[in-house]
């Protein structure tokens, strides 16, 4: 049977992608962030995952305001790199895992989640800003299953609904008949506000509190609404529900292995990695 061997919550942002692409990860203003990412990358390599299930959100590259699913799962053999306005990044297509994807789709539907299934998908910085830091070796390393959540077009699925999605995802992965070692990744956030008079607000105290709760008392986060997250961390910080879904997919006994946080410019960047007991 497949095994979840770890989990990770990690920020995504165009700035992460741009800094990586221009080889500036060791510049003084970015080194505090990318050094933390490097530690997590080394940890991922030790776990030797066969697949990454990445919970993220699209940024009007795969979906549009005319048609935006609540939850969407990729079923493809590979995923093309989105053109976000400056041409696609210079990566090969991301390799998919259609067998695992189809199993997850069937399991989630049986668990009463109405999943949009995508035979074709492009992936943008929601996945691709952290993924090369964790999974890029001789092309790509582990195969990827993309699971997109709606944090853009209201009404949004509640934090509790996203938590329950993660629970169902964990059951789906661990009921797969293959012997894959799987890491679940949730991307997005942390605090940032991209519109209105609060543009540029970063809330380090709340970001640290959120990561504390995710580690020590994640179910307390179910008492928060999207309005709460927006008030505490800015309108775009609702992406943290992807971290919550990741955490819910892991056993309650999962322990924190790595944590880094760096408030910079208009965003609170963070990463928390969890090890699953007995998975090493």
**Residues forming the active site:** 125, 192
Of 268, 272, 274, 271, nearest in space to 207 by CA: 268
Q: Strand 78-81 to strand 71-74: parallel, antiparallel, or no bridges (unpaired)?
A: unpaired
What is the crossing angle of helices 226-233 and 204-216, to 10°? Answer: 140
Q: H/E/C letters for each residue in 56-123?
A: ECCCCCCCECCECCCEEEECCCEEEECCCCCCCCCCCCEEECHHHHHHHHHHHHHCCCCCEEECCCEE
Is-contact 197 19, C-beta < 8 A?
no
Paired with 268 in beta bridges are 263
Give the Å distances, CA to CA, from 110 to 103, 105, 113, 172: 11, 9, 7, 10
Paired with 81 in beta bridges are 123
Element at 188 (helix H, strand E): none
Instruction: Say how far apart CA 45 and CA 27 lie, in whole Å.
Output: 24
Q: What is the sign of the dihedral through the CA atoms of 73, 253, 40 and 278?
A: negative
Give the Å distances, CA to CA, from 175 to 31, 118, 136, 170, 180: 40, 22, 27, 9, 11
Q: Hey, is 154 helix, strand or coil? A: coil
């Amino acid at each position: 049977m497949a095994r979840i061997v770890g989990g990770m919550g990690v920020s995504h942002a165009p700035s992460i992608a741009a800094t990586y692409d221009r080889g500036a990860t060791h510049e003084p203003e970015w080194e505090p962030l990318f050094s933390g990412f490097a530690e997590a990358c080394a940890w991922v390599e030790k776990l030797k995952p066969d697949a990454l299930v990445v919970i993220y959100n699209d940024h009007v590259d795969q979906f549009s305001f005319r048609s935006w699913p609540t939850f969407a799962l990729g079923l493809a053999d590979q995923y093309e790199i989105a053109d976000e306005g400056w041409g696609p990044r210079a990566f090969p297509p991301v390799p998919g895992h259609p067998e695992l994807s189809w199993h997850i789709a069937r399991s989630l539907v049986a668990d009463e989640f109405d999943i949009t299934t995508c035979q074709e998908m492009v992936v943008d910085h929601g996945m691709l800003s952290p993924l090369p830091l964790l999974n890029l070796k001789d092309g790509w390393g582990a195969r990827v299953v993309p699971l997109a959540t709606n944090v853009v077009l209201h009404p949004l699925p509640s934090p509790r609904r996203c938590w329950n999605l993660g629970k169902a995802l964990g059951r789906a992965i661990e009921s797969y008949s293959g012997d894959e070692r799987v890491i679940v990744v949730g991307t997005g956030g942390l605090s940032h506000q991209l519109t209105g008079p609060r543009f540029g607000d970063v809330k380090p105290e709340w970001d640290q509190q959120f990561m504390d709760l995710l580690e020590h008392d994640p179910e307390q986060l179910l008492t928060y609404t999207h309005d709460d997250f927006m008030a505490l961390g800015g309108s775009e910080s609702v992406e943290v529900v992807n971290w919550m879904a990741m955490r819910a997919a892991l056993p309650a006994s999962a322990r924190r292995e790595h944590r880094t946080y760096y408030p910079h410019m208009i965003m609170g960047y963070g990463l928390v990695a969890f090890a699953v007991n007995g998975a090493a």
